[in-house]
Chain A
Amino acid sequence: MRNELTIKIAGEAGQGMQTIGIALCKLFKRVGLNIFSHQDVMSRIRGGNNFTQVRISDRPLYTLRRLSDIVVALDKNSVALHRRDMSSGGLLILDKKTFKISDEDSVFLDVPLYDMAKNIGGSELFVNSVALGILGGVIRIEFNNMAEILTNIFLDKSEDIIKKNIDTAKAGYDFSRENFRKDAFALETGEVRENLLMNGHDAVALGAIRAGCKFYSAYPMSPSTPIMNVIAGLAKDFNIVVEQAEDEIAAINMILGASFAGVRSMCATSGGGFALMVEGLSLSGMTETPIVVVDAQRPAPATGFPTRTEQADLDYLIHAGHGEFARAVFSPGTIEQAFYLTVRAFNLAEKYQVPVLIMTDQHLAESYRNIEMFDLDKAKVKRSIISKEDSKKITNYKRYQFTESGVSPRAIPSWIEDVVYVDSDEHTEEGHITESAQIRTRMVEKRFSKKMAGLSKEIEKPTAYNLRGAKIILIGFGSTYGVMKEVTDAVKNKKIGFVHLSQVWPFPGKEIIALLKNVKRTITVENNAAAQLARLIRRETGIKIDKSILKFDGRPFDLDFLLERLKKEL
């Protein structure tokens, strides 16, 4: 029996590939399989060619494969387009009559997808459910699992719609059991567990909610928007206000106002929107107002590839903003890290009264995996404000009081018996405008040097995996965690190890020096053209990275691509 399988569902934008993708993921999770699923979507609402690719196995998965074992083509275009990316012995499910295809091909499984949808469901819209049924039959999953998943997915729809979805899926299922009798794609299934199925931005949104974010403001921008959707969907249950801003400048300045007033606040955007926020980021640094900002990276410059992936904002995020001020930048590599680091971002922002940036990208944001249930004891809120009770005693308050750590006790306006002044001009300890050279020097030390020193003492440790005895150490940040992990496991005799940075600022220089000393060959794996991580390591540690494997075509790394690129090295 196989121990893994990659399935691709392709069609035009608007044909519902995402819905069937999620249905498949839920189905596979239900029967105890592990999942890694990602999307490849064009920046359009109808037409073009989009696909969802779902990889399943009885062992945990972290990344994607280049070739698909099964392709479901929902339109004619998808047949030729995805035929070339199939593994040997693969199966391409298509509707030859509807697509007007007369050619024969050994991989074809011709199914009257659209006729079945129309005849049984009454509409072409049910083609997804037919396809789901076909796949279930081919992979040999019992039908009752599918019926339950469909009922669950369409819970808010009428009984009639649910029934039609189940009936069309059943027709597809019966068709494939009858017409495809091979067990070629049957999979070893695992034990069914109560774990979570989500993508990276679901995790960021849930992390923010857990962290006590009560105000979220953003201007829609791919691929950051799902964070806003998830929080808005749960806003009522958790008493959160989500406000769509008129522009990104308003978004960041609104969250600054809310945070000043005492509420944990966040905004998210992508590179172009972040560019508009940069002055506000500097204001956060100057006024020492804590905020959390997510940059969901996509290929740039300018508008770039709105729906695709890249990691080219590393240099940008660690430097963004005029002037010098402390900040932290997280670069979660997994869905789990996205959750825990978001909670940490809020705690750290409040503790140091600085902006904390979370760098994700389209690939991490929109890829699904099944993960262990979150451990909420590891995601606790730590408040760093003057409590309401202690506030009552305060009658003479200095917002920017000089302290050893550079962090002044932060009072919430209206809680204390005095007022709070904050200013974007250089200011005194009271928060009033000053031109004093002496105060200026001390304020810069407070906002920049002292806070950076504090932040540097609690940097997230890089993940180090299989370093002992490895000939090559791969180094990456953000969403390349998964591909580095699987490559490390796939190469025999433990020849490869990897180091992954989930925090890139303050840079974990000491840790990187310790991990990379005595390493024969170092290679960074980066979704950008400039080898930004390799350059940053050189700058911060003096270590010259031997090589960088770079990919900047807007698509994520896959296991096969990285294996091939490493072949020469081994």
Chain B
Amino acid sequence: MPEMKDFMSNDEIAWCPGCGDFGILTAVKKALVKLGKPPKDILLTSGIGQAAKLPHYVKCNCFNGLHGRALPPAAGAKIANHALTVLVTTGDGDCYGEGGNHLIHNIRRNLDITVIVHNNQIYGLTKGQASPTTDAGYVTRVQTAGVILEPLHPLEMVIALGAGFVARGYSADSEHLSWLILEGINHKGFALIDVLQPCVTFNKKNTYEWYSKRIYKVNEDPSYNPQDKIAAFKKASEGGERIPIGIIYRVEKETYEDKSGINKRPPLVEENIENIDIGAALKDFV
């Protein structure tokens, strides 16, 4: 069984001190230790942004691609080798802004991948512009009179789109978050975990203090049924003074792997491609 040290990367961490990303990193590693698979059988893909650096800080296979494009390589790799455990680490700009179309369609695709969205409600790497989830009215150097666009509501959106596993975590509670990540990995199909995360440098509103006053754990309420889509939608839309974290929605769905049948065959990567006999295909052209 792998231990924490097996997931230690020797790469130097380039996040700001106190960044919420550290809590997410710890949670990812803890979840992977509990998963019990060796690093070589795990793939982390990411786009660009602070969140996208995370795969470098875990010893796992890593595809750190383009801004907004964390999901398509994850989908391609999972189709090529369904034996890999595939996680995506992405941010609110990467996933909900630049890569929005891929989010919509990968929910429809429903491959067995787990998406962790570092949602700090601000653009960090480009130094403090509004992200799709920045609160209305928040003033930045670009949105000088405050954000006038409505913020995107990621959980309501992905529940509406039919994602089978929808959760919200908090970066400062890495124990709870690691549980969510492991549940997400064990869920068969597309899982999205939106992680509330303070940006100590650029987000002066949604701070640790601000969050700790508002957050509560939804799954501690025994009457909450995450399989009830309407209840989940209501729960996802809570905000302001009370912010629920936990598994908001969970339902079993047939995956891409089931429907396409690829999980009934060895992974494509194991195919011997030398000297493929195309004689039968050529007969159609004779």
Range, interface on chain B: 35 or more
Contact B276 A209 (CB under 8 A): yes
Give the residues in chain A near B104, CB-CB below 8 Å: 246
Contact among A260, A279, A420 with B73 in the assembled complex (CB-CB below 8 Å)? A260
Contact among A262, A265, A424 with B65 in the assembled complex (CB-CB below 8 Å)? A424
Cβ-based interface call for A255 (8 A): yes
Contact among A373, A418, A421 with B56 in the assembled complex (CB-CB below 8 Å)? A421
**Stretch touching chain A among B127-135, B196-204, B242-250, B261-269:** B261-269
B89-107 vs A: 1/0 string, CB under 8 Å?
A: 0000000000001101100
Contact A424 B76 (CB under 8 A): no
Cβ-based interface call for B53 (8 A): yes
Cβ-based interface call for B121 (8 A): no
Question: Complex formed: what's the CA distance from A210 to B273 in Å?
Answer: 8
Minimum CB–CB distance from B277 to chain A (whole Å) comes to: 8
Cβ-based interface call for A310 (8 A): no
Cβ-based interface call for B62 (8 A): yes
Asked whether A262 and B281 contact (CB < 8 A) given A239-B271, A381-B275, the answer is no
Q: Which of B80, B84, B275 has the most CB of A within 10 A?
A: B80
Minimum CB–CB distance from B82 to chain A (whole Å) comes to: 10
Minimum CB–CB distance from A63 to chain B (whole Å) comes to: 21
Give the residues in chain A near B101, CB-CB below 8 Å: 246-247, 249-250
What residue of chain A has the Cβ atom nearest to residue B53's Cβ?
A: A433
Asked whether A215 and B61 contact (CB < 8 A) given A261-B81, A263-B268, A381-B274, the answer is no
Give the residues in chain A near B63, CB-CB below 8 Å: 256-257, 260, 287, 422
Contact among A198, A245, A432 with B285 in the assembled complex (CB-CB below 8 Å)? A198
6 contacts between A and B (CB under 8 A): A198-B285, A249-B102, A253-B66, A260-B73, A261-B76, A419-B61
B20-31 vs A: 1/0 string, CB under 8 Å?
A: 000000000000
Cβ-based interface call for A196 (8 A): yes
**Stretch touching chain A among B39-47, B173-181, B227-235:** B39-47
**Stretch touching chain B among A126-134, A138-146, A408-416, A555-563:** A408-416
What residue of chain A has the Cβ atom nearest to residue B9's Cβ?
A: A432
Cβ-based interface call for A214 (8 A): yes
Question: Complex formed: what's the CA distance from A375 to B45 in Å?
Answer: 41
Give the residues in chain A near B74, CB-CB below 8 Å: 257
Contact B77 A260 (CB under 8 A): yes
Contact A215 B273 (CB under 8 A): no
Give the residues in chain B near A252, CB-CB below 8 Å: 72
Contacts A214-B80, A250-B105, A421-B64 known; list 14 others, CB within 8 Å.
Answer: A196-B286, A197-B285, A214-B273, A215-B268, A237-B280, A241-B79, A241-B262, A249-B72, A253-B69, A257-B65, A258-B77, A263-B268, A374-B282, A419-B60
Contact A215 B79 (CB under 8 A): yes
Cβ-based interface call for B188 (8 A): no
Give the residues in chain A near B268, CB-CB below 8 Å: 214-215, 239, 241, 258, 263
Contact B69 A414 (CB under 8 A): no
Cβ-based interface call for B145 (8 A): no
Question: Complex formed: what's the CA distance from A515 to B11 in Å?
Answer: 53
Asked whether A246 and B102 contact (CB < 8 A) given A196-B286, A253-B73, the answer is yes
Contact among A198, A212, A417, A431 with B40 in the assembled complex (CB-CB below 8 Å)? A417
Range, interface on chain A: 35 or more
Give the residues in chain B near A202, CB-CB below 8 Å: 285
Contact B62 A420 (CB under 8 A): yes
Give the residues in chain A near B274, CB-CB below 8 Å: 212, 380-381, 383
Q: Which of B271, B282, B285 has the most CB of A within 10 A?
A: B285
Contact among B14, B60, B72, B271 with A245 in the assembled complex (CB-CB below 8 Å)? B72
Question: Complex formed: what's the CA distance from A432 to B286 in Å?
Answer: 52
Question: Complex formed: what's the CA distance from A373 to B279 in Å?
Answer: 10
Contact A212 B73 (CB under 8 A): no
Contact B285 A196 (CB under 8 A): yes
Question: Complex formed: what's the CA distance from A217 to B74 in Å?
Answer: 14
Cβ-based interface call for B51 (8 A): no
Contact A422 B62 (CB under 8 A): yes
Question: Complex formed: what's the CA distance from A194 to B105 in Å?
Answer: 45
Contact A243 B56 (CB under 8 A): no
Contact A373 B281 (CB under 8 A): no
What residue of chain A has the Cβ atom nearest to residue B269's Cβ?
A: A262
Give the residues in chain A near B11, CB-CB below 8 Å: 430, 432-433
Minimum CB–CB distance from A208 to chain B (whole Å) comes to: 10
Question: Complex formed: what's the CA distance from A414 to B69 in Å?
Answer: 23
Contact B48 A257 (CB under 8 A): no
Contact B276 A419 (CB under 8 A): no
User: Which residues of chain A from 430 to 482 have any CB-CB distance to chain B below 8 Å in the complex?
Assistant: 430-433
Contact among A383, A420, A430 with B61 in the assembled complex (CB-CB below 8 Å)? A420
Cβ-based interface call for B118 (8 A): no
Contact A424 B64 (CB under 8 A): yes
Minimum CB–CB distance from B31 to chain A (whole Å) comes to: 17
Cβ-based interface call for A376 (8 A): yes
Contact A413 B40 (CB under 8 A): yes
Give the residues in chain B near A253, CB-CB below 8 Å: 65-66, 69, 72-73, 76
Question: Complex formed: what's the CA distance from A375 to B180 in Å?
Answer: 55
Give the residues in chain B near A209, CB-CB below 8 Å: 276, 278, 281
A178-222 vs B: 1/0 string, CB under 8 Å?
A: 000000000000000011111000100010011110110100000
Asked whether A234 and B64 contact (CB < 8 A) given A215-B268, A241-B260, A249-B69, the answer is no
Contact B265 A239 (CB under 8 A): yes
Contact A255 B286 (CB under 8 A): no
